[in-house]
Amino acid sequence: MNIDFNNFDLFVIKLNKNGEIIYANDFATYLLKTTEEDLLNKNWFNNFLPNEVKKETFEYFKTIISGVNEMTKTHVNEILNSENEKIYVKFFNDVVKNKKNEIIEVISIGIDITEEIKTKKLKESMRKIYKALLDLYEISLNKKNYSEVFKYFLKEAISMIDGINAGSIFLKDNNKNFKCVAIYNYDFKDIKTLSFNEKYFERYKKFFIFNDYKNYYTKVKDKIKNYGIKSSISVPVFVDNEHVAHLFLDSFKGKNALSDLSLSLSKIVSNQLSIFLKRMKVEEKLNKLSMYDFLTDLPNRRYLDQNLGNIFSLAERNKFEIAFVYIDLNKFKCINDKYGHDIGDYVLKKFGKILKESLRKSDFTARLGGDEFLIVLNDVRKEFIEQTLSRLLNKENERINIDGDEFKISISCGVSIFPKDGKNFNTLLMKADKAMYKAKKSKKLYEFY
């Protein structure tokens, strides 16, 4: 009895002893996106199986034809159609023998389970992505260097999406430029130094698969060619509707290696990275609140306690001195008492700005509390300290105008030197404080300890 397999939604093919297709029904040609005429006499293994399994599967097929092994009755195959899209078919196999009991054909009847496999993979990938996010939080607690955290996340994301082999993460900095913070599976030494402005990334503010790199940045385009990247997914990351980061997930496997499932998973990756970046942003704000003075936005005492150790180590290695300048605003209490705390706060903010503008990039100033400030001058000699304080003297002669009233800022400064006057912060601060009171008594701008 002959069965017309075209009446069923079943994937049916027959192969000869060489693995060549001698029959394919309508549903098979539909899934493979081709015609029966085009399929006939083509080698099934060479043309429709992924590279990584075609040789092994064909060798096993030959052992069945020769009678060494028995045919596996059921199995699931990953198949590539004519457009290089993956489909999954659960096959039921049997052999056709001649009168001499020799195997002459293999018939495979399959059920399309692509959607079932995709759903299963999606659930598994989602589970892995959520686990990766939890791991990411744990890692970030133990690492101050976020580049390692981003590299871990990128590696996990790549392992979860079929067809993706490599990738990169770009993060928007305070100057609104996107800079590379993580790379995986290729060595783009140049890309780490590249900076892309917001305008460049406008074209990538949506999720899409692309394989045309002609408008890509020239230096990156050359690297892409060298590494053999065939297609990529653009993955924007938003926090509070702002485009704050971007992933490029790349495939070496072909222009059609990425699917709608790949795109769906990339959106989940983006969402999880967005959650992490939002948390990171909150932590940075909290950290800044704890390390910076809320009024002047200058570093506070806690910042000094946590960071001066590194500065001392650097000074010892390079054998240079550090000056600690303790500054007190003279008669500030009178301003507060006469004009109120709002005016007093304005004067403190203005003075903090004056201090910052008077220093080099390698130096910094901090507010210790009330009307007391500290300047830390790196790699200095006595003459340079005096020049810096002279600049402050010129600044202090400037008057601050508030609603027609002018305030002249007057200060007293005390200076201690690392390592001559001490090798820890508390000792140096105490000695600078003593020198400041000495300057206040002598009515000088500054005194050295």
User: Domains of the chain, with CATH numbers?
Assistant: 5-112 (3.30.450.20), 117-291 (3.30.450.40), 301-448 (3.30.70.270)
Q: Which residue has the higher pLDDT, 142 or 361?
A: 361
As a whole number, mean pLDDT of residues 11-16 equals 92
Residue 28 to residue 36: CA distance in whole angstroms: 9
- Give the pLDDT score at 189: 66
- Give the pLDDT score at 1: 46
List of long-range contacts for 215-223, beta carbons under 8 Å, 24+ apart: 219/190, 219/191, 219/194, 220/188, 220/191, 220/194, 223/186, 223/188, 223/190, 223/191
Position 284 pLDDT exceeds 70: yes
The 10s digit of each residue's pLDDT in 65-122 is: 877 767 667 788 888 888 888 889 998 888 888 888 888 888 889 999 988 888 887 7
Instruction: Give 392-415 as a DSSP string.
Output: HHHHHTSEEEETTEEEE--EEEEE
Q: What pTM value is reported for the model?
A: 0.58
Share of the chain above pLDDT 90, in %: 26
Please, what is the average pLDDT of the chain?
84
Identify residue 27 by its one-letter amino acid code. Answer: F
Tokens at residue 149, please?
A: 């955290």
- Give the pLDDT score at 204: 84
Name residue, tokens 């690492």: 143
Residue 88 to residue 259: CA distance in whole angstroms: 14
The 10s digit of each residue's pLDDT in 256-274 is: 778 888 888 899 889 888 9
Euclidean distance between the first and the last CA atom of the chain, given in angstroms as a whole number = 110
Position 51 pLDDT exceeds 90: no
Q: 110: which strand partners?
A: 11, 91
- Give the pLDDT score at 340: 85
- Give the pLDDT score at 159: 85
Name residue, tokens 């060549």: 20
Position 249 pLDDT exceeds 70: yes
Tell me the pLDDT band of 395, cut-offs 50, 70 and 90: low
Residue 247 to residue 266: CA distance in whole angstroms: 9
- Give the pLDDT score at 222: 61
Name the strand (E) or helix (H) holding 45. helix 44-48
- Give the pLDDT score at 355: 87
Share of the chain above pLDDT 70, in %: 88
